[in-house]
Structure 1
């Protein structure tokens, strides 16, 4: 990807109608995203969070960016003047701060030669934490963050050697920030009760997290064991996802999280990982309500592959 200003463009929506789905599924962007997500999953096979080595300066820059965004939560505490199960309107102030700062944050992150990319990158970051109008969050927002990371790879800011840290440091911190936003502002699950995710909000922690367990003696059935979650929960994204659900929901796990409960009956993590990869393509990338808000520009192209 060239660094000249003429290369980049403000990304725009292209999936405006269900009939556009066939073009989306044949696009360069779709192919790039599928390859990227699969490559990230493969990179963390058998790896614990604590196995991440020294972070590159680029990854450290993203960590600082996420920390900055986290700090805004204290600037915009939840509005206590109204009470509702979902949708605290102070989230709109947090999201407005992100909107104001997005391009500046990109330029702080990127080397000078890549500053021209900031306007194209910013919309992916802005869309990654939820929708300010609906005050909701779902797997489409998670996908926007993945697209932002992919853009950073395609402009050669992030290197292939960063792959493990992208998942086990950057993506893990992103998920933790999203969970904090979900708790603080009571974000509503996007879509019909999170139907396009494994839980109400996320999908990829379980896909990447299942890869972490490949080759280990831990079985999928053990992933629901509170003792294992207590001992190893900080080391595995899959267990962190189960822990968050257990903190947020009451009642038997098999009732409120049926898909994850059924997955615990699969004998091997390799099969879980393969199944989740197929499910991600079908239930997230393949669903018009999830991908209709995605934007495409010069880095992630809607042109046919």
Structure 2
């Protein structure tokens, strides 16, 4: 995804498949529900309880609208995939939203790639159209229901709610001679280009909901404006995302696993493209990203047949997983993740997906991001974006 939108505007034309159009309509339908369920009058600063009504409606109708969006051949996967979409709009108990919910939507898109519903040629449209529409919907939810930032670090966080649009948005701005990093602090530059670049769209939203000097309420972004190039910003944000999101247990403890995104370490090497390539294959073994529906059959059964729509045991962990051990011990388990004998589904229950408990899922072998991740494998150091410019280049 990061490579697919490099140097491309959000408004630039791209290949739009029928599924992309259907998914956009699905997000529009969800957005209409927000209009149908207005906030109620209450004294709290955060967390309007009307959000729970919206969330209940999605739980009731989410699978239906997803079946309408996906071709019939992918309907067996809907019961599992719908859970990721449901988790991507926030928590109904705390009425909050954060990077963990954003990660759930990325995993939803990842599932669509893994089953073959989305193809490699859809990559640019997934970012500039589908994810951008999701971002608009989340902002509507945040402002309508006054959702509390989940796990925000205040002024020291990159943003109260989002992270991914800054990564993909900085990729869009690479090779752009007209907009240098220091210019995104200029309100006129932001307003003139917000519709074309996701990064600037995020800055515009921040300026609309926060007051005071930018350097005070968004200190991390202010520091980033001193970096020499968008390429370095993009690379730094990727490292920061691994350290501050994927490497944080409070975030990944809510990550869901199932037959599509297994908790078992990946056995297939992800293809990492050489510099200069525009569109990397999703896998070295399977460049076309063929579906589980055609490539992962055992004894005439599809992996999705083990996924049942009942949610009575939702959230329970399978008994056959060594979840009391560390992730290092999990890596010693028999290989073959993805086969029907090793999917993370408890066949004796009706659990659709499993929640991790004691496992730190920041290991780069975690398969959740592999189909979407064209980035080089690196460790997960605790880091922030550093600037190499002199003090006089800073604000």
Local SS of the residue matching 2:3: helix
TM-score (norm 2): 0.66
Aligned match for 1:141, one of 72, 96, 101: 101
Equivalence for 1:26:
none
Q: Deviations over 1:230-287 (max 9, x none)?
A: 2111100000000000001111111111111100100100000000011111111110
Query: Shift of the alpha carbon at 1:302?
Result: 0.5
Pairwise CA distance, 1:191:
1.0
1:12: which partner in 2? none
2:52 to 47, 70, 92: 92
Once residues 183 and 73 of structure 1 are traced to their aligned partners in structure 2, the CA distance between those partners, rounded to angstroms, is 11
More helix by share: 1
Query: In structure 2, what is the equivalent of residue 104 of structure 1?
Result: 64
Rate the CA distance shift 1:57–1:69 in 2: closer, same or farther, 3 A: same
Equivalent in 225, 229, 241 of residue 280 of structure 1: 241
Counterpart for residue 201 of structure 2: 240
Q: Give the Cα–Cα distance (whole angstroms) in 2 for the partners of residues 64 and 265 of structure 1.
A: 39
Summarize the alignment of residues 1-305 of structure 1 with structure 2, pairs less than 5 Å apart: 40-80=1-41, 82-193=42-153, 198-217=158-177, 218-305=179-266
| Cα separation, 1, equivalents of 2:234 and 2:35 | 37
Q: Distance in 2 between matches of 1:194 and 1:152?
A: 34
Please identify the structure whose Cα radius of gyration is greater. Answer: 2
Q: Is the 8 A contact 1:138 1:190 kept in 2?
A: yes
Deviations 1:161-183 (A, max 9, x none): 01011001111110010001000
Listed one character per residue, the Cα deviations across residues 29-78 of structure 1 (whole Å, up to 9, x for unaligned) are xxxxxxxxxxx011101000121335210100110010000000121100
Q: Does structure 1 conserve the Cα–Cα contact (< 8 Å) formed by 2:4 and 2:124?
A: yes
Distance between the aligned counterparts of 1:134 and 1:196, measured in 2? 22
Structure 2 CA distance, aligned partners of 1:243 and 1:51? 20
Determine the C-alpha separation between the residues in 2 that align with 1:108 and 1:168. 22
Change in Cα spacing, 1:133 to 1:196, as seen in structure 2 (3 Å) is farther
Q: 1:134 to 1:196 in 2, by over 3 A?
A: farther
1:194 positional shift? 5.7
Task: Name segments (4+ residues, structure 1) moved above 6 Å.
Answer: none
Higher relative contact order (CA 8 A, sep 6+): 1
Whole-Å separation in 1 of the counterparts to 2:115 and 2:157: 29
**In 1, Cα distance between the equivalents of 2:260 and 2:124?**
22
Unaligned stretches of 5+ residues in structure 1: 1-39
Task: Verify the 8 A CA contact 1:46 1:212 in the aligned structure 2.
Answer: yes
- Segments of 5+ residues of structure 2 without an aligned counterpart are 267-395
**Aligned residue pairs, count:** 265
Q: Distance in 2 between matches of 1:97 and 1:286?
A: 33
For each residue in 1:181-205, what CA deviation from the matched residue of structure 2 results, as whole angstroms up to 9, or x when unmatched?
0000000000144689520000011
SS in structure 2 of the partner of residue 66 of structure 1: helix
TM-score where L is the length of structure 1: 0.85
Q: Verify the 8 A CA contact 1:208 1:238 in the aligned structure 2.
A: yes
Contact 1:138 1:197 in 2 (8 A): no
**Aligned counterparts of 1:105 and 1:196: Cα–Cα separation in 2:** 38
Q: Tell me which residue corresponds to 2:340.
A: none
User: 2:181·2:230 contact (CA, 8 Å) conserved in 1?
Assistant: yes
| Aligned counterpart, 2:368 | none
